[in-house]
Chains A and B, each alone.
Chain A
Amino acid sequence: ETGVTQTPRHLVMGMTNKKSLKCEQHLGHNAMYWYKQSAKKPLELMFVYNFKEQTENNSVPSRFSPECPNSSHLFLHLHTLQPEDSALYLCASSQRGGPGTYEQYFGPGTRLTVT
Chain B
Amino acid sequence: AQSVAQPEDQVNVAEGNPLTVKCTYSVSGNPYLFWYVQYPNRGLQFLLKYITGDNLVKGSYGFEAEFNKSQTSFHLKKPSALVSDSALYFCAVRDIPHPDDKIIFGKGTRLHILP
Asked if B115 lies at the interface with its beta carbon under 8 angstroms from chain A, I say: no
A66 at the binding interface (Cβ < 8 Å): no
- Collect the chain A residues with CB atoms within 8 Å of residue B107's CB: 41-42
Residue of A with least CB distance to B103: A104
Select from chain A the residue with minimum beta-carbon distance to B90. A43
The answer to whether B46 touches A104 (Cβ under 8 A) is: yes
- Of chain B, the residue at the smallest CB distance from A104 is B103
Closest to A40 in B: B107
**Complex Cα–Cα for A97 and B108 (A):** 27
Max chain B Cβ within 10 angstroms of own Cβ: one of A41, A42, A56: A42
Asked if A107 contacts B43 (CB within 8 A), the reply is yes
Question: What separation, in Å, do the CA atoms of A42 and B51 have in the docked complex?
Answer: 24
Check B49 against A103 for contact (C-beta < 8 Å): yes
How far, in angstroms, from A103 to B59 measured CA to CA in the complex? 13
Contact size range, B: 20 to 34
User: Are A106's CB and B102's CB within 8 A?
Assistant: no
| A25 CB, nearest partner CB in chain B, Å | 12
Q: How far is the CA of A43 from the CA of B45 in the complex (A)?
A: 14
A82 to B3, CA, bound (A): 29
Cα separation A105 to B46 with both chains bound (whole Å): 7
**Per-residue contact bits, chain B 81-115, to A (CB 8 Å; 1 contact, 0 not):** 00000000010001000001111011110000000
**Chain A residues, CB < 8 A from B42:** 108-109
A2 and B32 form a contact (CB under 8 A): no
- Which residues of the partner chain B approach A102 to less than 8 Å between Cβ atoms? 32, 94, 101, 103
What CA separation (Å) do A106 and B92 show in the bound complex?
14
| Residue B56 is within 8 A (CB to CB) of chain A in the complex | no
A-B contact pairs, 19 of them (CB 8 A): A2-B43, A2-B46, A31-B101, A42-B105, A42-B106, A42-B107, A42-B108, A43-B90, A91-B43, A92-B44, A102-B94, A103-B34, A103-B49, A104-B103, A106-B43, A106-B44, A108-B43, A109-B41, A109-B42
New A-B contacts (9) at CB < 8 Å, excluding given A43-B105, A106-B45, A107-B43: A2-B46, A6-B43, A42-B108, A56-B100, A102-B103, A103-B46, A104-B44, A108-B41, A109-B42
